Chains A and B, each alone.
Chain A
């Protein structure tokens, strides 16, 4: 006669432990939102629309973030404008024109993706900024920040595109080859349009990452709070601002920084939802 073992009682404990772990993720997200909101809401209520001004002078009690929002957006958009097309074209080229070197190059790209942002920033300071400075001082500028960011988001953008192309059914390419169509034509008319939603979804996410990037931008953007008149003007992003001023900010100033953090969080959330919509699905494991 077999009796029920105690393992089945252990199951109840395990079930509850796992539920707790599952709730952890939700708890963390809720905690982040809660902390940011609690910190910044009274401030937002008090200062409201003034936040959209151009005047950021915490010493005088002025917290206009518009110039920094502009800095973030302009830097990220230019970065995406450079990295996006290069990533897509390079991924397509590797897959359909140079398949023999694809694997080693992708390994290199994966390594690139893991390089810390401070190291990219370091390179920017050592090489890029002095180089731009030769033509257009001061060197640390919108352009410098965008170039460094472009290099940072390129690897993942490329890998996402490569995955998207890899998921296409092989029969499209076969049909094209049988009809002796050029690869460029196939890419333009069939392959890229088919993979487009996944590719764009990935690019939107990388744009979000660019907006959230702090260190590399901090090191090469020049950090002057202003709307840039040209590519060579220094700018300050929202993220760099938090990193720079949090160390010594007090009172209202500190709370303003939390508010800018909340703004970043909201924009990130919106971009994420947008990327889901574009792809036409939601979370997919793996």
Chain B
């Protein structure tokens, strides 16, 4: 092995440490600040004193509500659009490229811009105000490109031979989609749904002026609700003494995301990761 290679080998190890050490510090600092607070009580109690005391029960409910609204819109529309791309748009055609460009653009739009749009359109124009509904709908728009791209990948991964057999037998499009295409692509579509969930849970900026800030348990979808991510932000920035609980909430959120990621890896993609 040449000298250059030896040096490079060591340099790489140094770089790796340079990345892993801050990450480790991050985890450690969160555990240090908030680790002691994690308990079943923390998950089941509502927050008190603007979040300085108590738990995060109402936040879990609100977050769940926002996530549900988001998925109810994003999954059908996303799947429909992916089906449109795989069934009615020949790959490589102009329409495919244009639609692909639009999707790339939507994926690149900053989340705060989705927040502005959600505020102006859902909260004000549609009169939904600061509500779980507004937040969930705005979030749905944001995860739509991700959902579409994952579902499209899954659909295009179904072997061509099935499609050929189906065509030779003149199977209707509806029959093909319903009995062969979607069932075969289901694992990949499920991965897309979980990836979208992960993205939605991690998002804050979109929810700041759509879902609102209210700490108590929400009454309905039209009631305002605070998501976990927004809670972390508020406690850290606006509430003196809120740091410990901000860290604890951060740990809960990261734990949920890690579980989702591992679920995808374990059950839906056993042979390979996203990156192989």
Using a CB–CB cutoff of 8 Å, the interface residues on chain A facing chain B are 5, 7-8, 10-11, 14-15, 17-22, 24-26, 28-29, 31-32, 35-36, 39, 86, 89-90, 92-94, 97-98, 103, 105-108, 110-112, 114-123, 125-127, 151, 154, 159, 162-163, 166, 182-185, 205, 208-209, 211-215, 218-219, 239, 242-243, 246-247, 257-258, 261, 264-265, 268-269, 271-272, 276, 282-286
Does B2 belong to the interface (CB within 8 Å)?
yes
Q: Could you tell me which residues of chain B, from 242 to 276, have a CB within 8 Å of some CB in chain A?
A: 243, 246-247, 250, 253-254, 257-258, 261, 265, 273-276
Among B4, B22, B112, B236, point to the contact of A121 (Cβ < 8 A): B236
Q: Are B77 and A24 in contact (CB under 8 A)?
A: yes
Going nearest first, the 4 A-B pairs with the smallest beta carbon separation are: A283-B100, A21-B80, A212-B110, A93-B12
Among A7, A94, A265, point to the contact of B12 (Cβ < 8 A): A94
Count of interface residues, chain B, beta-carbon cutoff 8 Å? 97
Question: Whose C-beta in chain B lies nearest to the C-beta of A89?
Answer: B15
Among A14, A122, A286, point to the contact of B247 (Cβ < 8 A): A122
Contacts of B257 in A (CB 8 A): 111, 114-116
> With A22-B88, A117-B204 in contact, is A283–B97 under 8 Å at CB?
yes
Q: Are A285 and B85 in contact (CB under 8 A)?
A: yes
| Chain B nearest Cβ from A149, distance in angstroms | 13
Among B12, B101, B201, point to the contact of A282 (Cβ < 8 A): B101
Chain B, residues 99-135, CB within 8 Å of chain A (1/0): the string is: 1111111101111111111011100000000000000
Q: Once bound together, how far apart are the Cα atoms of A117 and B257, in whole Å? A: 13
Question: Whose C-beta in chain A lies nearest to the C-beta of B97?
Answer: A282
Q: Once bound together, how far apart are the Cα atoms of A25 and B97, in whole Å? A: 13
A-B contact pairs, 26 of them (CB 8 A): A11-B173, A22-B80, A25-B103, A25-B144, A29-B102, A35-B117, A35-B121, A36-B117, A89-B15, A90-B12, A93-B15, A94-B12, A97-B5, A107-B265, A110-B275, A115-B257, A118-B233, A121-B236, A122-B250, A123-B30, A182-B1, A182-B2, A215-B229, A219-B233, A219-B237, A272-B108
